[in-house]
Structure 1
Amino acid sequence: MSKLPNISTSIFSVMSKLAFEHNAINLSQGFPNFPVDERLKNIVSQLAQQEVHQYTPMAGHPLLLEKIAQLTKEQYQRTINPETELLITTGATQGIFTTIQALVKNEDEVIILDPSYDSYEPSVLMSGGVPVRISLNDDYTPNWETIENACSSKTRLIIINNPHNPTGKTLNVSDLKKLENILEKLPQILLLSDEVYEYITFEEKHISVHTREKLHNRCITASSFGKSFHVTGWKVGYIIAPENLMSEIKKVHQFLVFSVNSLSQAAISQYLDIVLIDEIRSFYKQKRDYFRELLQNSRFELLPCEGTYFQVVSYASISDENDVDFCKRLIKEHGVAAIPISTFYANAKDLKLIRFCFAKDNHTLEAAAKKLCQL
């Protein structure tokens, strides 16, 4: 008997498989196709000759833990204890799964804001919890009154994703104040903040929960070096949480992966000494602006993109098809792969919107845009 009877192959795998079969340009899955920083590759080459190939301590490479604590202080003016409030994970998804397994018990309710990343619900179900899916407004802003009304004595956790995948929206100060008000009224509820695109925002700087002192004792944050440093295949992320919650999370982590790839951790700890975090933002802003410029004369309507490396577009003026069928036809007939937004909703809400990933080299973006402008 399946523990996840209603979970099928992810839409990312489906669309990437179709793209491969039809030799389409793959703007569906969220990974870069351009080279990694040469400085990082050189660090790896040098470290590979050294004795860094055995288990690290369970919580992470000590030097990397210290560097993350420094980074958190520099970026968000928050002081954390690297020994008790920080954990290196095998990517942010593992950190999210581990957190939910540790903190959500049988029949606990977890509020998930749709459209939502597809790992949240299965993680809740595997813990015996009950997912409560709440749709964002059609402009992808949160309706905090609806969210508060969905909370009950059984609510254990609220999950937010900021910057938001798939929509590229970001939360503002008003949003976080309203969230704080909800949590003040309901002290049993914890917050899980998925911030893997924290360094990829554009006009406005990312407002992390790290900057909200009221939330520190109630919140677990998930971050991703894979997203920030264009090394998604390394699967290195981290979570930050208060000691009382982190001690429970570490209990699960030690039996799930024990420790994360040692070479990757050592390389990132050195790379943090030379990389300029603000350059990540400007790099992706150029990508976003260039891709939007390329699509300016297309029939697609481009929605605002405030963060992440995803661009959501409306195809309503092109077709009346549902978004899944449109994406399949886009691959088969026009040679470009995208992700239908309805698959991020529990109720498959179809607003005629699809998502493109612009974390690609310019040649790829140009080739894709040429095809898209012909629709």
Structure 2
Amino acid sequence: VEYVKLAATYSKVNLGQGFPDFSPPDFLKDALVRVLSGENHMLHQYTRAFGHPPLVKVLAQFYGKLLGQDLDPMTNVMVTVGAYQALFYCFQAFIEAGDEVIIIEPFFDCYEPMTKMAGGTPVFVPLRPKAPKDGKLMSSADWQLDPDELASKFSKRTKAIILNSPNNPLGKVYNREELQVIADLCVKHDVLCISDEVYEWLVYDGKKNTRIGT
């Protein structure tokens, strides 16, 4: 909240949040208009709290293919009011007083306060810039985790690690080797990985977004 206020006060670019400068695609807006313009009054009733059944079934099929997993729409899929609420639910459900949560810097600005609101303690580990080879310009891919430094942050109190790929604000897309390091540490220490993939479709320059859940 403090940084958002500072950015607004001094008219600076806030790299902690995403501010789209484009409208949703027309096909999405047209589909929404068609649904709301129908005469089916059942579309305007209370629905299942965890997600409208037809919607979660489609999402289970879609993400099941992406993740290579067999997802049960009624137990593995939940629809929330945006990713922010989904993250809040994760922190409230899994983090208890005294738990540590590893947060990779730089990070989306809600991770730290959400950890604290749940009674947890943030433990920070930075992405460090590596000098590009052959005189190339630095890119987000040149920001990397030190595997040993990351491993040193895990303790008996570690409950979760927050993974954000593509990263906000850097845009870094973690490669398979980097994800494997994180996954191996989570398995070794029985730690939950909360994977925030809100920018999963914003991948450029031939990069491939590999999901840690695959």
Would you say 1:177 and 2:168 are equivalent positions?
no
Evaluate the alpha carbon distance shift between residue 89 and residue 17 of structure 1 in structure 2; reply closer, same or farther with a 3 A threshold: farther
The 5 Å alignment of 1:281-300 reads: none
Number of the residue aligned with 1:149: 152
Is the Cα contact below 8 Å between 2:7 and 2:14 reproduced in 1?
no
Letter in 1 for 2:199: Y
Aligned length: 197
Q: Is the 8 A contact 2:174 2:210 kept in 1?
A: yes
How far residue 14 of structure 1 moved from its aligned partner, in angstroms, is: 4.0
Residue 42 of structure 2 corresponds to residue 39 of structure 1:
no
- What's 2:2 paired with? 9
Q: What is the TM-score of this pair, normalised by structure 2? A: 0.84
Q: CA deviation at 1:177?
A: 1.7
Offset at 1:49?
A: 2.7
Kindly state the Cα deviation for residue 27 of structure 1 after the two structures are TM-superposed: 8.2
Q: Is the 8 A contact 2:183 2:212 kept in 1?
A: no
- Secondary structure of the 1:92 match is helix
Q: Which runs of 5+ in 1 are unaligned?
A: 1-7, 212-375
Residue 196, structure 1, aligned to residue 188, structure 2: no
Q: What residue in structure 2 maps to residue 75 of structure 1?
A: 66
* Matches of 2:124 and 2:79, distance apart in 1: 29
Give the Å deviation of 1:182.
Answer: 1.1
Describe the SS at the equivalent of 2:184.
helix
Matched to 2:212, the amino acid is V
Where 2:31 maps in the other structure, the secondary structure is: helix
Pairing of 1:1-375 with structure 2 (within 5 A): 8-11=1-4, 13-16=5-8, 18-19=10-11, 30-50=18-38, 51=41, 52-138=43-129, 139-187=142-190, 189-202=191-204, 203-211=206-214
Q: What SS is found at the alignment partner of 1:112?
A: strand
The alpha-carbon deviation at position 126 of structure 1 amounts to: 0.5
Q: Partners in 2 of 1:64 and 1:17 — Cα distance?
A: 41
Q: CA RMSD in A?
A: 2.0
Q: Give, in whole Å, the separation in 2 of the partners of 1:136 and 1:70.
A: 34
Letter in 2 for 1:67: V
- Asked if the contact 2:173/2:208 (under 8 Å) is kept, the reply is no
Q: C-alpha deviations, 1:152-172, integer Å up to 9, x for none?
A: 101101111111111111111
Amino acid at match of 1:128: G
Letter in 2 for 1:107: G
Distance 1:16 1:176 in 2: 35
Structure 1 pair 90/17, CA: closer, same or farther in 2 (3 Å)? Answer: farther
The Cα of 1:66 is off from its aligned counterpart by 1.0
* CA distance in 2: counterparts of 1:69 and 1:59, whole angstroms: 13
Q: What's the TM-score, normalizing by structure 1? A: 0.49
Q: Which has the higher contact order (CA 8 A, sep 6+)?
A: 1
Aligned-residue identity in percent:
33
